[in-house]
Homo-oligomer: A and B are copies of this chain.
Amino acid sequence: MPRPRQALLNRDRIVETALALIDADGLGALSTRRLAAALGVQGPSLYNHFATKDEILDAVADSVTASVDVSVFDRYDWVEALRRWARSYREALAAHPNIVPYLAQGPGRRPAALAMADAVYGALVRAGWPPARATHIGAALRYFVAGSALGSFARGFVEDPELYAAHPHLNQAHRLRGHQHSVDEGAFTLGLDALLHGLAAEYARTVAPLERGSGPG
């Protein structure tokens, strides 16, 4: 089949299908030939639309990042905005956990990831945090969110009671998988609350005193 009258592929369709395959079978199971087959096409045809497989993965990763709500930074104070952003970020990643190891390498050159970094950093500086501190806070939150989405904590444990016999405190660990959602959710909420609580305390101690009277007016 030479050039068809109606193009069979376009970047969006490739990205959508790739994400679906990654969700279904994992990052390792995505090959150019399998992806092409799912699109009704031969493997090398993809290279008319993307230069490398990594470029496809970049586009997939950015499509996930794009679904994170960063508008919260315009509508809430920095603590509440961070809380809502972190939740939205985690939801976006948890919906596609298999792409997280790739995505977590950093924003690189992905536009949605850069826009998100910009929004977070900007909001923190606007709130009065010194630039270096704002960077640290953004990084710390990203650490936590990425870690929480990277692999389910609960799914990391095997459903085999015998395995835990030698470990005195893990005798219930084989049940974790059954409570995966509540474990992962509870850990995330606890950690996020603790992090924000701690950050608010530092803000009150180091930033707020300087802010008083330095506002507009």
Complex Cα–Cα for A140 and B190 (A): 7
| Interface contact A194-B190, CB-CB below 8 Å | no
User: With A107-B156, A117-B170, A167-B115 as given contacts, are A190 and B143 in contact (CB-CB < 8 Å)?
Assistant: no
| Interface contact A194-B199, CB-CB below 8 Å | yes
Chain A interfacial residues counted at CB < 8 A:
64
For the complex, is A44 an interface residue (Cβ under 8 Å from B)? no
In the complex, per-residue mask of A103-115: 1 if CB is within 8 Å of any chain B CB, else 0? 0111111000011
B residues in contact with A138, CB < 8 Å = 187
Give residues of chain A (136-194) contacting chain B, Cβ–Cβ below 8 Å. 136-148, 150-153, 155-158, 163-164, 167-170, 172-173, 176, 183-184, 186-188, 190-191, 193-194
- Name A's B-contacting residues (CB within 8 A): 101, 104-109, 114-115, 117-118, 121-122, 125, 131-133, 135-148, 150-153, 155-158, 163-164, 167-170, 172-173, 176, 183-184, 186-188, 190-191, 193-199, 201-202
